[in-house]
Amino acid sequence: MDPSIASVDRMMAWRDKPMAFVEDLWPGFVPERWQEEFWIACCRKDKHKRIALQACVGVGKTTAMAIESWRRLAAYGRSPNHWPRGLAVAIDRDNLKGNFWAEMAKWRVAAPILEDMFQQTSERISRKGRFHEQWYLDARGWSKKANAEEQGRALSGLHSEFPFVIADESATIPQAVLQTAKQIESSCEDSLIVQSGNPTSQEGALYHAATREKDRTTVIAITSDPDAPNRCNRMSKEWAQEQIDSHDGGRDNPWVQAMVLGQFPKGGINQLLTYEEVDDAMKRSYREEDFRDSPCIISVDTAGGGMDPNVITARQGIMTWQQRVISGDVTGMTLAGMVAHEYNERKGDAIFVDDTGGYGRALIEALRLLEFKPIGVQYAGRPMDPGFKNKRAEMWWNAAQGVKNEGWSLPSEKMLREDLVTPLYFEDKQGKLQIEDKDAIKARLQGRSTDRGDSFVQTTAFPVDPTRARNDPNRPLFWAEKMRGNSSSMCEFDDPRKWED
């Protein structure tokens, strides 16, 4: 919509006609049915509105909240002292900036009238001109050590005739935080509190809204269930059915319940690493004597057919160095040279290469031509510990334990941080630990794969003896411990197929 034809009457009409707002500003956008239901609920004549989006993965809930926030900002400011003012929070400041705040920027750029009316910084979206201090949406956050009471204070001090609060990923936000948000209802003409998240936890604000406060909250359940007539079409029926069929227990599987069906699971589903645990690891630093007797492992997550980057990680005991991220279009021999350089510079003991789907085969062969002995890692292959569903689950779990309990350091990289805090785990009916499906993680990362996280956790693929500690020039490049049942033996792995099912 051209800013020059946006009349006051037209903008006032957006208060009662959310679909007119969407059609005027983004005429090519086709919303899901549940998104229309959500926007209509936001326009009800109730004085105080509380809405919770209980959603499966990848359905566009952040998009829906961003569009509603823009409608609220654009349609509700018309006379002195009647400005819309809002606050936005998530599980932490970085999550808010990387998801909801980025989504706000995307839709603003796509609508000339919003670019003409509003300015956006890292902390605030405000009306251009003399009302910028009265007409705004603020990004609020808290420190990693803050308790629920301190977090709740981030939502205090919002006074307006048209206040609104947006809480993204509220499944893990303490209920006490949103309890503070309800203060905006004390004296106003029209208030709105919206929260959304995947139903993974029975302790956070989302579960509280969907159970104890369901009589005072409009709960919109969003599902990808292939058999549901009102399912969200953003996630295909084929994908949803594949997840149901491939997870033990089918529809009773905790991960399927939360991430496909959009239901709170009967069994537990948990986060492997928290933001606080990862941030603490990224602040750690060590001297060489703290790790020099540990094996040095070079791990390579290979590009999926050139679509994703290649990532090289070097970890020696508790120390992890800065990752090398290389575009996915490099040749096998070129990438092998980079891996060889890292191996020689770090005096490595082992090279682990992601060979899932055969994408690492060219790199493995190139490294062998350079007289190295790389190990191919099959993520769907057999774990050493039978308590895990597959090798992928075992690696992610062991790496998480190293970060949480053994003091491993991590390089300070924003995308690595997001990779490590995103995956969830659960147990199947046989009691085997599983990590959620990689496609579902990719959907929550807005299409990005966990390349950096995979490269890091892959350093735990197999046990390694450090050659530097033996001072034996005739010792092979690296050894791995092969475990079968209760017996173990040391053997050289020069054939990656030995660890496939």
| pLDDT tens per residue across all 501 residues of the chain | 545 445 777 888 899 999 999 999 999 999 999 999 999 999 998 889 999 999 998 899 999 999 999 999 999 886 666 789 999 998 877 788 888 999 999 999 999 999 999 999 999 999 998 888 889 999 987 655 666 666 666 666 677 889 999 999 898 888 888 888 888 888 787 899 999 999 988 888 999 999 989 999 999 999 999 999 999 998 899 999 998 998 878 898 888 999 899 999 876 678 899 888 999 999 999 999 999 899 999 999 998 655 789 999 999 999 999 999 998 778 789 999 999 999 999 999 999 999 988 888 999 999 999 999 999 999 999 999 999 999 999 999 999 999 999 999 999 999 999 999 989 898 877 788 989 888 778 877 777 889 999 999 999 999 998 765 444 444 444 433 332 232 232 333 334 333 333
Nearest to 364, CA basis, from 396, 340, 329: 340
Residue indicated by tokens 């947006």: 166
| Strand-pair category, 296-301 with 350-354 | parallel
Domain boundaries, the chain: 7-222, 275-499
| Strand-pair category, 319-320 with 324-326 | unpaired
Tell me whether the CATH fold assigned to 7-222 matches the one assigned to 275-499.
Answer: no
CATH class as words, domain 275-499: alpha beta
CATH fold of the domain at 7-222: Rossmann fold (3.40.50)
Distances (CA, A) of 472 to 140, 438, 469, 476: 57, 41, 9, 9
Query: Is the whole-model pTM more than 0.85?
Result: no
